[in-house]
Structure 1
Amino acid sequence: MRLKFIRAFFSIQLLVSVTGAPLFAQVQSDTLKLTLKQAEDQFLKNNLDLIIQRYNIDNASANVITARLFQNPDFSFANGIHATGVPNAFSEQAVSVSQLFFTAGKRNKNIQLAKIGVEQAKYQFFDLLRTLKFTLHSDFYNIYFQEQSAKVYDEEISSLAKTLDVFKQQYQKGNIAEKEVLRIQSQLYSLQTEYNSLLTSIDTTQSELKLLIKASPASYIDPQVNFDSNKDAVSAVPYQQLLDSAYANRYDLKYTKAAVDYNTLNLKLQKATAIPDVSLSFNYDKLGSYGNNFMSAGIAFSLPFFNRNQGNIQQARIAIDQSKVQFQSQQDQVQSDVATSYKSALRLEKLYNSFDPKFKTDFTNLIKEVNINYEKRNLSMLEFLDFYDSYKTNTIQLNNLQLSKVLALEQLNYATGTPFFNQQ
Structure 2
Amino acid sequence: MKKIIFTLLYIHCFSFFSAQISDTVSISRKEAETVFLDKNLDLIAQRLEISQAEARAVQAKYWPNPKLSISEVNLWRTYDIEEQPALVGNWGKNSQISAEIEQVIQTAGKRRKNIELQKIEVEGEKYELQEVLRELKKTLRNTMTEILYNQEQQKIYQGQISSIEKLTKSYNNQLNLGNISKAEYVRLKAQEIEFKKKLISLRQEIEDRQTELKALLMMPAHSYLVISDPFAMPDKELSELELSQWLEKAKENRPDILISKNKEKHAEKNLEIQNAMKTPDIAVSIGYDRGGNIMKDFIGLGVSVDLPVFDRNKGNIQEARLEIQKMKNETQKNLLKSENEIVSVFRNYLRTQQVSEEIDDTYESTLDSLLVSHEKNFRLRNISMLEYMDFLDTYISNKMIILDTKKELNQYYENLQYAVGQDL
| Residue 380 of structure 2 is aligned to residue 386 of structure 1 | no
Residue deviations 1:214-242 (CA, integer Å, cap 9, x gap): 22322222223267888771127510111
Partner residue, 1:80: 74
Partner residue, 2:309: 305
Partner residue, 1:137: 141
| 1:261 maps to which of 265, 270, 279 | 265
Once the two structures are TM-superposed, the CA of residue 337 in structure 1 deviates from its matched residue by 1.4
| Residue 105 of structure 2 is aligned to residue 112 of structure 1 | no
| Residue 408 of structure 2 is aligned to residue 404 of structure 1 | yes
- CA pair 322-352 structure 1, distance change in 2 beyond 3 A: same
State the one-letter code of the partner of 1:327.
Answer: T
- CA pair 35-28 structure 1, distance change in 2 beyond 3 A: farther
Partner residue, 1:43: 36
3-state SS in 1 of match to 2:26: strand
Asked whether the equivalents of residues 23 and 154 of structure 1 are also in contact (C-alpha less than 8 Å), the reply is: no
Q: Counterparts of 1:405 and 1:27 in 2: how far apart (Å)?
A: 35
Residue deviations 1:47-93 (CA, integer Å, cap 9, x gap): 11111111111111111112111101111112234667437684212
Asked whether the equivalents of residues 234 and 409 of structure 2 are also in contact (C-alpha less than 8 Å), the reply is: no
Give 1:47-196 correspondences, 5 Å limit: 47-78=40-71, 79-81=73-75, 85-86=80-81, 90-196=94-200
Q: Counterparts of 1:107 and 1:367 in 2: how far apart (Å)?
A: 78
Partner residue, 1:214: 218
Q: Counterparts of 1:87 and 1:397 in 2: how far apart (Å)?
A: 107
Q: Counterparts of 1:29 and 1:302 in 2: how far apart (Å)?
A: 71
Q: Over the residues paired in the alignment, what is the CA RMSD in angstroms? A: 2.6
Q: Counterparts of 2:236 and 2:364 in 1: how far apart (Å)?
A: 21
- CA pair 95-286 structure 1, distance change in 2 beyond 3 A: same
| Structure 2 unaligned residues grouped into runs of 5+ | 1-14, 84-92
Q: Counterparts of 1:397 and 1:413 in 2: how far apart (Å)?
A: 24
State the one-letter code of the partner of 2:102.
Answer: S
- CA pair 370-165 structure 1, distance change in 2 beyond 3 A: closer
Q: Counterparts of 1:136 and 1:325 in 2: how far apart (Å)?
A: 31
Partner residue, 1:364: 368
Asked whether the equivalents of residues 231 and 353 of structure 1 are also in contact (C-alpha less than 8 Å), the reply is: no
Q: Work out the number of aligned pairs and report it.
A: 399
| Structure 1 unaligned residues grouped into runs of 5+ | 1-21
Q: Counterparts of 1:291 and 1:376 in 2: how far apart (Å)?
A: 127
3-state SS in 1 of match to 2:46: helix
Asked whether the equivalents of residues 282 and 295 of structure 1 are also in contact (C-alpha less than 8 Å), the reply is: yes
Asked whether the equivalents of residues 94 and 286 of structure 1 are also in contact (C-alpha less than 8 Å), the reply is: yes
Asked whether the equivalents of residues 124 and 251 of structure 1 are also in contact (C-alpha less than 8 Å), the reply is: yes
Which 10-residue stretch deviates more, 108-117 or 187-196? 187-196
Q: Counterparts of 1:336 and 1:418 in 2: how far apart (Å)?
A: 17
Q: Counterparts of 2:412 and 2:152 in 1: how far apart (Å)?
A: 19
Asked whether the equivalents of residues 261 and 331 of structure 2 are also in contact (C-alpha less than 8 Å), the reply is: yes
| 1:235 maps to which of 224, 232, 239 | 239
State the one-letter code of the partner of 2:261.
Answer: K
Q: Counterparts of 1:375 and 1:294 in 2: how far apart (Å)?
A: 118
Q: Counterparts of 1:191 and 1:140 in 2: how far apart (Å)?
A: 24
Which 10-residue stretch deviates more, 220-229 or 90-99? 220-229
Once the two structures are TM-superposed, the CA of residue 25 in structure 1 deviates from its matched residue by 12
TM-score of the aligned structures, taking structure 1 as reference length: 0.87
State the one-letter code of the partner of 2:69.
Answer: S
3-state SS in 1 of match to 2:222: coil
3-state SS in 1 of match to 2:209: helix
Asked whether the equivalents of residues 232 and 349 of structure 1 are also in contact (C-alpha less than 8 Å), the reply is: no
Give 1:300-379 correspondences, 5 Å limit: 300-379=304-383
State the one-letter code of the partner of 1:86.
Answer: I
State the one-letter code of the partner of 1:73.
Answer: P
- CA pair 284-208 structure 1, distance change in 2 beyond 3 A: same
Once the two structures are TM-superposed, the CA of residue 38 in structure 1 deviates from its matched residue by 1.2
3-state SS in 2 of match to 1:343: helix
3-state SS in 1 of match to 2:302: strand
Once the two structures are TM-superposed, the CA of residue 368 in structure 1 deviates from its matched residue by 2.3
Asked whether the equivalents of residues 22 and 222 of structure 2 are also in contact (C-alpha less than 8 Å), the reply is: no
TM-score of the aligned structures, taking structure 2 as reference length: 0.87
Give identity over the alignment, percent: 32
